[in-house]
Amino acid sequence: MYLFTSESVSEGHPDKVADQISDAVLDELLAFDPSSKVACETMVTTGQVVVAGEVKSDAWADLQTVARDAIAHIGYTKADYKFDSESCGIFSAIHEQSADINRGVERVDAENQGAGDQGMMFGYANNETDNYMPLPLSLAHDLMITLSRIRRERKVMTYLRPDAKSQVTVKYDDNDHAVAIDTIVISTQHDEFISAAEAGSQEKADEQMLARIREDVINILIPRTIEERVHTPEIKALFENGDITYHVNPTGKFVIGGPNGDTGLTGRKIIVDTYGGRGAHGGGAFSGKDPSKVDRSAAYAARHIAKNMVAAGVADEMLVQLSYAIGVAEPISIYVNTYGKKHVALSDGEIAEKIKQLFDLRPYAIEQRLKLRNPIYVETARYGHMGHNPRMKHKVFRLGNEVKEMDVELFTWEKLDYVEKIKEAFGL
C-alpha cells in the first residue's frame, strides 16, 4: 500500500489569475492575427497588475480591457477584496519579440518552422479514470470546479470568495489500483460572515465560521462533486468507506486571499496544469505562450499521443517525452515509458519508433493537427490543461470598432481520434 497526493487551485488563486490574464491577451492577439508570436507574463498583487513579455503581431490588444474583463469573469468585482476589476492598476511592459528568436522559428516554407525554444516536454495518461488522468488530480480539479459553480450560483455557501485550493490523497495497493480516498484538504477564501459582535468575540466568530464552512464542505461540496463530476461506480465507491480525513481551512480563517493575500505569477502552477506530479514535467510553463513555443504545443501533442495510446490498449499507463532544439523542426528524441504495463510484444523504444511513424511532431504539423492557432487558451488556464472534454465554443472579440465572431474547438489534444490508427499499427 502507498499514498499519493495531488492538488488543484481555483480560478481565483493569484497564480491562476495571472495565467488567465496572460492567456486572455494571447487569445485577443490570435483572434485578429493567427500568426501572432506571443510570450506574455503577468504578475498580480494588491491592487496591481503588471503585464510584460514579447509580442510580434499585426494585431494589438487593449490590455486594460482584456485584463479587467478576465479579472471580472473570475469574480474579483468587490473593493473589499482589495483587488477588483474596476479599480486595480494595470501596467504594460510588452515589447517586440527578439529578432534572434524569430529567425529560428519562421521559414519561407511554413511546414519547416523551427521550434520556438529548446527543451523537453512530457505527456502522460493512465486508465484509472474515464478521462485518462491520474485520479488524485482529477478529483482535486473536480472539487474546485464544483466549488466555483456553487460560488457563482450564490444559493448556498454564499460567503465564498474566489480564492481556493484543494488536495486529495488516494490510497493505492501494490498493483497501483486505488482502494480508498485517504485525505481531502479544502482551503477556501470566505467573507467575514459572522461578526465579533454577533458571536461575543472575534475568536468565537472565527470558530463558528470555520465550523459552518467545514459542515458545508462535507455536506454540500462533497456530495455535489460526486453527483456531478464522478461518473464511474468504482470511483464513487471510494468515497463510501467513511474513513476520509478532512482538513478544511486548516489555519482556521481565510478572509484575506487572492492577489491581496499572495502575489500571483504566470506559470507557477505547472504541476496543477499537467498531471499532479504523477507524470513528469519538463519545467516549461504554458500560459501566455503562442503554439510556436513547444513548451506548450509539444506538451499538448505528447498528451494527445499518450491518451490515444492508452485508450487504444497499447498500455495501461504511458509517459511520452519529446525534446527539441530551438530553430529545428524535427524533435531530437522521443522517449516512452510504459511502467511495465504494456500489452504489446514490443519494447518501449520500439513503441517510440512507431509513435514517430504515426505522428508528425514538427511544430507546424502540431499546430495544424491540434488547431492551435485559434484563440482557445483562456479556458486552459483554469483547472488544468489536460483531462477536459473537447468541445466547440462560440467566441466574440472586440478591438475598437472591429468585432470578430468565431467558433473554435477547445482541448483538441484530448480527442481520441488516433485510436483506430494506433490499433491498426500495433495489431490490436
User: Any idea what the CATH number is for the domain that residue 240 is in?
Assistant: 3.30.300.10
pLDDT tier, 242 (very low <50, low <70, confident <90, very high otherwise)? low
Q: Where are the beta strands (DSSP E) in 119-159?
A: 119-126
* Chain centre to alpha carbon of residue 207: 34
Distance CA 17, CA 263 (A): 10
Residue 423 annotated as lining a ligand binding site:
no
pLDDT above 80: residue 103: no
Same-domain pairing of 167 and 237: yes
Domain count within the chain? 2
Residue 371 annotated as lining a ligand binding site:
no
Range of the domain at 372: 119-126+291-426
User: How much is the pLDDT for 256?
Assistant: 86
Same-domain pairing of 298 and 402: yes
- Residue 166, beta-bridge partner list: 8, 186
Asked whether residue 33 is domain-assigned, the answer is no
Asked whether residue 381 is domain-assigned, the answer is yes
pLDDT in tens, 105-146: 555 456 666 676 788 999 999 999 999 999 999 999 999 999
pLDDT above 80: residue 101: no
Residue 303 annotated as lining a ligand binding site:
no
Same-domain pairing of 255 and 319: no
Residue 228 annotated as lining a ligand binding site:
no
Residue 110 annotated as lining a ligand binding site:
no
User: How much is the pLDDT for 152?
Assistant: 97
pLDDT above 60: residue 407: yes
Asked whether residue 90 is domain-assigned, the answer is no
Q: Count Cα atoms within 13 angstroms, Cβ side, for 384.
A: 29
pLDDT tier, 184 (very low <50, low <70, confident <90, very high otherwise)? very high
Q: What is the DSSP letter of 288?
A: T
> Higher confidence at residue 311 or residue 103?
311
Asked whether residue 144 is domain-assigned, the answer is yes
Helix (H) or strand (E) holding 51: strand 48-56
pLDDT above 70: residue 93: yes
pLDDT above 70: residue 255: yes
Question: pLDDT over 70 for what percent of the chain?
Answer: 95
> Among residues 235, 259, 283, which one ends one of the domains?
259
Asked whether residue 368 is domain-assigned, the answer is yes
Residue 236 annotated as lining a ligand binding site:
no
Same-domain pairing of 252 and 306: no
Residue 164 annotated as lining a ligand binding site:
yes
Same-domain pairing of 209 and 330: no
Q: The whole model's pTM is what?
A: 0.94
pLDDT above 70: residue 275: yes
Question: pLDDT over 90 for what percent of the chain?
Answer: 84
Same-domain pairing of 403 and 317: yes
End-to-end, the C-alpha distance of the chain in Å comes to: 32
Asked whether residue 227 is domain-assigned, the answer is yes
Residue 165 annotated as lining a ligand binding site:
yes
